[in-house]
Structure formats: C-alpha cells, structure tokens
Amino acid sequence: MRPSPRKIRVVVNDTMQCGYVCYRTEPPGRNFAPHFTPQLTPKEMLHFGVFGGKYMTDCRDEFPPSWFARAKLCATRHDPELNYFGVNASQPLREWRRKGWVHPQDPRGWFQWYCRYYMGRRSTDDERQIRRWRAIARHAAAVRKNCLPGDLECRRRQRQALLHWAYDSRQI
C-alpha cells in the first residue's frame, strides 16, 4: 500500500484569481490517471512556445521558476511567432468561455488545469479535462494521415494545436 502523500496548500493571487485555494495531494509529474499520458511537461511546452507566449505571464509564483527560465513569453500580447511552428493555433479566451470550456477553478483553461494537475492538484474537473485531452488525438491522426513523417511544414497549425495539448507533434 502506498503511503498517503502530504497535502500542500496553495493560495493563488494573480490577475485572474484572487484568494483561490487548492491542495496538491500528489507528487509533481506523478500518479496521473492511467488514461492520461501527455507527451510533454508544462515546462517543455512553455520552452517550445505555446499560446503565442501570452499564457501565464502573471502567475509565475504558483509554479516552479525552472518552468519559466527558457519559456517563450510575451507579457504584452499574443505573438504567434513565439509558437514553435510560428502560427496562431489559438482561439481567444472569450471564445473558450462562450463554448463552456473554461471553469471558474481554472479561468485560463485547459493548460492551467494541466499545470495544476501536473503539480499534484486533483479536482472534480479532472475527468472532463482528460476527456477533452483524449479527443485532441484525432488531430495527431490527421497529421499522420496527411503528412510525411518528420515534415514539420505540413499542417503547422494542427501541429501547433497539438503542442498546446501536450502532444509532441514534432515527432509525427
């Protein structure tokens, strides 16, 4: 039997959340749901370039400083050139909200949920977010079907979107 991990209380105060409290109950990067197997860590995603660099520029205190050491970020605007594939593969946050993809505990959406999950937080939204992550695999299948292996110029927007969801589309 595995010993019970200690609970770490996290209080978030940033531009989008003030006084949000959650608990990390698992060690970082460990004990994921069996059907949730992301290929990239949040640190790797930030380093490669995702979300036009605008993501998480004001909430560094919640996550390890090492995640941001080589991150491609832009505090002032969304810059597609910072993305690994140099294209915009994002919809605006207002569109995410309109579609009901964003829940109050993670007002920045899926990637914020993933960062917190990776750090050990488990929540009532885990199952929904993992279902959403699994559904993105269809885009990897489309890249495999329509592109030669290793042709990173083929379907760049789709490849960038896959990076946003922790699929390593550079390897397809």
Q: What secondary structure does DSSP assign to 41-84, as a single string?
A: -HHHHHHH--GGG-TTSS-GGGS-GGGGTT----SSS--GGGST
Q: What is the DSSP letter of 168?
A: -
> Is residue 59 assigned to a domain?
yes
> Is residue 31 assigned to a domain?
yes
Task: Identify the domain containing residue 164 by its residue range.
Answer: 8-171
State pLDDT tens for residues 112-169: 999 999 999 999 999 999 999 999 999 999 999 999 999 999 999 999 999 999 999 9
> Is residue 3 assigned to a domain?
no
Q: How many domains does the chain have?
A: 1
Helices (H), the chain: 42-48, 93-98, 110-118, 126-135, 137-146, 156-164
pTM over 0.85, yes/no? yes
> Is residue 138 assigned to a domain?
yes
Distances (CA, A) of 106 to 27, 90, 171: 20, 17, 29
CB atoms within 10 A of CB 42: 25
> Is residue 21 assigned to a domain?
yes
> Is residue 2 assigned to a domain?
no
